[in-house]
Amino acid sequence: MRLDALLRDAAGRLAQAGSPTARLDAEVLLCHVLGVERTWLYTWGDRIAAASDQARYEALIAARAEGRPVAYLVEAREFWGLSLATSPHTLIPRPDTETLVEVALSLAAGRGRLLDLGTGTGAIALAFASERGDWSVLGVDRVPEAAALAAENAKRLGISNARFLASDWFSALAGERFDLIVANPPYIAADDPHLLQGDVRFEPRSALVAGADGLDDLRYLVDASRGYLAGRGWLAVEHGHDQAAAVRALFQAAGYEEIASRCDLGGLERVTWARWSE
């Protein structure tokens, strides 16, 4: 079958299955199979697909029609201009999380140490490290496979000032101090209907859900981080679109200062940070 016809049929199947980005999904998956850029498809759409490529492609389209995330099917996702390997052990990096990177960079004065809690693919840690080569960056994740994946991403990208290890939050960090701690922790309520929709159906639930109101892990991090921040160090966290006021209240109750929030790309307050001064 010609590539353009193969694409058209695949996009139609994905649209019927409910994908909001059916044509894009079809193109990205075909590029993955063929090892080409999307512009190549427009130039060479009249080429005939090899039988083996067509079979592999149809298997990927079937998986996507079931709802499986494209990032897991192609095992990659771009974040902050970096191509990151992904796996079902980690959350899929999302553009809105770049807001947390922007905040971290704005708080990083001089040289220092950054800790990325629940690092997953290493997206936040590696984005920061790629911009601030004078900082030492550590990313931790309680899932050993995630920490190993982040380390592989760092190696492949040639980012030498970031390292990764397995740790359940601070469990492996006794005695450590950091100038800046960042985290994109679980913050979805256990009964949130969004857990039954889209890509999150296939992402690790432990990286998404944090108790009845979605704030369990944020409560813990705001409290526990005080013991790991250097003098006048910062803690910055991502949270749900309707949780900013609650997170600011947590910071205030814990004795933090200079509390502030920032909106994401959609204009919703999604990142809050504060300084620990004791």
Instruction: Report DSSP letters for 76-138, one per residue.
Output: EEEETTEEEE--TTSPPP-GGGHHHHHHHHHH--SS-EEEEET-TTTHHHHHHHHH-TTSEEE
CATH of the domain at 254: 3.40.50.150
Q: Are 117 and 181 in contact (CB under 8 A)?
A: yes
Whether 206 is covered by a domain: the verdict is: yes
One domain, residues 60 and 83: no
One domain, residues 130 and 7: no
Number of domains in the chain: 2
Q: Are 230 and 173 in contact (CB under 8 A)?
A: no
If phi over 0 gives left and psi between -120 and 50 gives alpha, with beta otherwise, what is residue 163? beta
For residue 93, what pLDDT is reported? 95
For residue 209, what pLDDT is reported? 84
Average pLDDT over residues 90-99: 94
Confidence tier at 82 by pLDDT (50, 70, 90): very high
For residue 204, what pLDDT is reported? 87
pLDDT digits (tens, 9 = 90+) for 204-241: 888 888 888 999 999 999 999 999 999 899 999 999 99
**Distance (Å, rounded) from C-alpha 120 to C-alpha 144?**
10
Q: How far is CA 193 from CA 19, 58, 138, 227, in A?
A: 18, 30, 34, 35
pLDDT digits (tens, 9 = 90+) for 161-173: 999 999 999 999 9
Q: Is the pLDDT of residue 196 over 80?
A: no
One domain, residues 94 and 193: yes
Q: Which of 100, 105, 181, 171 is nearest to 141 (CA)?
A: 171
One domain, residues 8 and 109: no
One domain, residues 28 and 158: no
One domain, residues 152 and 255: yes
CATH of the domain at 51: 1.10.8.10
pTM comes to: 0.92
For residue 211, what pLDDT is reported? 85
One domain, residues 63 and 118: no
One domain, residues 183 and 118: yes
For residue 278, what pLDDT is reported? 72
Q: Any idea which of 99-103, 186-190, 248-252 has the lowest mean pLDDT?
A: 186-190
pLDDT digits (tens, 9 = 90+) for 126-173: 999 999 999 999 999 999 999 999 999 999 999 999 999 999 999 999
One domain, residues 128 and 265: yes
Residue ending a domain, choose from 67, 94, 119:
67
Whether 72 is covered by a domain: the verdict is: no
- Cα-flanking dihedrals φ and ψ of residue 239, to 5°? -150, 180
Q: Is the pLDDT of residue 194 over 80?
A: no
The rounded mean pLDDT for the chain is: 95
Range of the domain at 24: 3-67
**Distance (Å, rounded) from C-alpha 17 to C-alpha 247?**
38
One domain, residues 55 and 153: no
One domain, residues 191 and 267: yes
**Residue 249: which residues within 8 A CB-CB, separation 6 or more?**
none
Q: Is the pLDDT of residue 89 over 80?
A: yes
